[in-house]
Amino acid sequence: MQEIGVLDAMRVADLFVQIMHKTLSVRLVAELTEQQVSLPQVHAMRHIWLHHDVLMGDLAEGLGISYPSATNMVKRLERQGLVERTVNPSDRREVEVRLTAKGEAICQRMEDERVARLQRVLSEMPEADRQALLQGLQAFIITAVGDRDDVAQDICLRCGLRASPSCPVAGSHILSICR
């Protein structure tokens, strides 16, 4: 029989994940994109936004999808005027992807709104609860990842240029995953 604390922790964690996913991702995409942009496409755009000019293979790896899937996604985004591809003339297998001004604007607007929505919730919490939340989540991540590079690699957000030296995943591992 499982300890009651474990069951409570699972329920609270499930609720937390749902709130973060629905409020800061799914609904946000529906509200802020005038075009038909799917959540996976927004994830691809965000990856490009965080890393700037990205090779197609690095995009596929960063999103955890196949190269052909990344290529198809980029083609759809390109048709909408959100990204552009450049083929390396000396090695045609090397394709670089970058956001257009329109794609940059969408990513910036999404990020600004995500921050604002999270700020609204956090500002309603007492300071001690905000600190406890942050410390608890960091402790959980550090404990869950431990010294397992495979787990760290698998859950890394690949924050690119916005990587933080206090990241509980990369901070506890000397990994090149945040490139």
Please give the class, per CATH, of domain 4-124: mainly alpha
Neighbours of 37 (CB within 10 A): 21
Which pLDDT score, from 0 to 100, does residue 92 have? 77
User: Which of 146, 148, 167 is CA-nearest to residue 158?
Assistant: 167
- From first to last of its 179 residues, the chain has per-residue pLDDT tens of 456 688 888 899 899 888 888 887 888 888 877 667 888 999 999 999 988 889 999 999 889 899 999 999 999 999 999 999 998 888 878 899 999 999 999 999 988 998 999 999 999 999 999 999 999 988 888 888 877 777 677 666 666 666 666 777 776 554 444 44
State how far the alpha carbon of 115 is from the alpha carbons of 10, 23, 35, 108, in Å. Answer: 26, 12, 22, 11
| % of the chain at pLDDT higher than 70 | 82
Which pLDDT score, from 0 to 100, does residue 174 have? 44
For residue range 74-100, what is the model confidence (pLDDT) as tens digits? 999 999 999 999 988 888 788 999 999
Which residues face 99 on adjacent strands?
83
Q: Tell me the domain boundaries of the chain.
A: 4-124, 126-179
Please state, in angstroms and rounded to a whole number, the distance separating the CA atoms of residues 19 and 165: 26
